[in-house]
Amino acid sequence: MRKLVYALIVLLLIVHQDFWWWDTYDPLVFGFIPIGLAYHAGVSLAAAILWALAIRYCWPAGLDDEEPGAEGGAGREGEHA
């Protein structure tokens, strides 16, 4: 799955360069959004979804685990020094 996420990142980088919509103002999406703006909104949503997939499948295991005493020692209730 990690290789797929990396491949999707490269694909997203490629499709982000939308030179084919630069000079096009017609057609309008939903009757009022220029197609280039709608395209970038779609790319932004795809980037957000891809970022969530990257966090889910590519984040190193155990990186967020808390270590005992990492917060500066005994200071919270219920801890013994």
- In a domain, residue 33? The reply is yes
Indicate the number of domains in the chain. Answer: 1
Residue-number span of the structural domain to which 26 is assigned = 2-58
- Is 81 a domain residue? no
Per the structure block, which two tokens stand in for 59?
């984040």
Residue 79 lies in a domain: no
DSSP three-state, residue 62: coil
Does 75 fall in a domain?
no
Interatomic CA distance for residues 10 and 53, integer angstroms: 14
Mean pLDDT of the chain: 81
Q: Is 77 among the domain residues?
A: no
Domain contains 6: yes
In a domain, 63, yes or no: no
The model's pLDDT over 67-79, given as tens digits with 9 standing for 90+, comes to 766 555 555 555 5
Q: Can you give the pTM of this predicted structure? A: 0.65
pLDDT 10s digits, 12-34: 999 888 777 777 767 888 888 88
